Structure 1
């Protein structure tokens, strides 16, 4: 039994090592629990890369791991609209893209006590990422939606874009077409529910300002768009869309990911 476990761990380490990935147990011996400032100092001593993994260990009867979209959700322990929720007590989260990643517990009292983690993930040039396939090949049944229909993207009615999106079903691969005067407007894609609610343009995921912007919805979940022009977002020029997975797109298993990792 022990021999088999050693072989399994050796094989797993070899597969991960082929991509130079690192696995971090969050909090080390402390694990994932309510302790003041443990996780900030823990993360500051490390450098995280795309392909690395975090292991969260905790008592699932009292806790979970909630990945939130933005800095405001993290700051205010807001788990209202999470990107993902893990609750096995032994969760492995692998970083697939660079940028800031935010984790809290949905136990609000514990989060306030310091059970939250933000990490900056960078892409290591020594780990090449293959160019993405052509979107039309990945999403052959994708639809293109002109945001607002004939109204386009402009200040019109405080509830107009909410009603427009609620009447539709969006899937991964679908496209949003924003048409507007680029002298009077723009499109900011932002991270989370609180940024959307407060019309906060300070940390956008992407900025579009051509007047004819085509945005591909590449991930399931909630996506938020606002205008950064003063008064426009508050007047209703903001859009929230819920994107469902596309059943026609095959998902890679853990073994497939490791195999692809070795090939790259």
Structure 2
């Protein structure tokens, strides 16, 4: 009888315990629109957890919701390389992982007028953290030693761009960073502008053992910079494109700088 009761309790928990997530309508009655400081004030009294959702409501003939990868793309209203684009007029975005999320409209004028939203998502303390995926689900493939025999150090500004551009990285591959951890480290960062400007203020992860193996578990662009700003500015930074169906161009540092200068000149 106790076993039956325990089984029923587990089923009840699975069916009803997962339904406590909160759904927020972005901007409340204002919806998704251009209004200075609206979304900053809208998020002030909210704590958003994994499992919660945002609803964006707007006229899809005139607008959209563009998710960008980092804080600088958010600040500059740059939608050149979006993580996702929503345009139904009633978009529901559910958060499955903790971290910082940034949403803008691709209409640059409206974005600079306030139509952009940044939220920080945390684990719900009342729910257990998800178990890590078994390693067999993401098979180990190839481990690349970054820089080959030269490892992770300061060389010419295009060294790591040239090192990575001919390689095909796939989900499951790994990167091995070797360096002197007394003078250096590896920051994994989220966005194109953070990479260009060697901005370490919001890293995804910090590695500093001197022998870091980083597994590439998701498709897309991954960015790594030196923990020392001077070293990063001298070219100690790496971007890799991991097995994705997106047609993502690999730009050299000079090409990236030219692109951003063009954006700033036009806006």
TM-score higher than 0.5: yes
Native 8 Å contact 2:74 2:102 kept in 1: yes
Aligned to 2:127: 127
Native 8 Å contact 1:81 1:192 kept in 2: no
Residue 61 of structure 1 deviates from its aligned partner by 2.4
Unaligned runs of 5+ in 1: 1-13, 247-264
Residue 142 of structure 1 deviates from its aligned partner by 2.7
Aligned to 1:51: 51
Deviations 1:187-232 (A, max 9, x none): 0111211111011122211111111001112222211100022421
Aligned to 2:207: 208
Residue 19 of structure 1 deviates from its aligned partner by 3.8
Aligned to 1:165: 164
Q: Is 1:144 aligned to residue 170 of structure 2?
A: no
1:243 to 1:15, Cα distance in 2 relative to 1, 3 A:
farther
Native 8 Å contact 2:64 2:85 kept in 1: yes
CA distance in 1, matches of 2:44, 2:168: 41
1:16 to 1:31, Cα distance in 2 relative to 1, 3 A:
farther
Partner of 2:34, secondary structure, is coil
Residue 15 of structure 1 deviates from its aligned partner by 6.1
Partner of 1:96, secondary structure, is coil
CA distance in 2, matches of 1:15, 1:166: 48
Aligned to 1:36: 36
CA distance in 1, matches of 2:28, 2:101: 19
Native 8 Å contact 1:16 1:22 kept in 2: no
CA distance in 2, matches of 1:200, 1:217: 22
The correspondence of residues 58-97 of structure 1 with structure 2, limited to 5 A, is 58-97=58-97
User: TM-score, normalised to structure 1's length?
Assistant: 0.82
CA distance in 2, matches of 1:168, 1:230: 26
Q: 1 or 2 for the larger relative contact order (CA 8 Å, sep ≥6)? A: 1
CA distance in 2, matches of 1:38, 1:27: 7
User: TM-score, normalised to structure 2's length?
Assistant: 0.81
CA RMSD, Structure 1 to Structure 2 (Å): 2.0
Aligned to 2:173: 174
1:153 to 1:82, Cα distance in 2 relative to 1, 3 A:
same
Residue 95 of structure 1 deviates from its aligned partner by 0.8
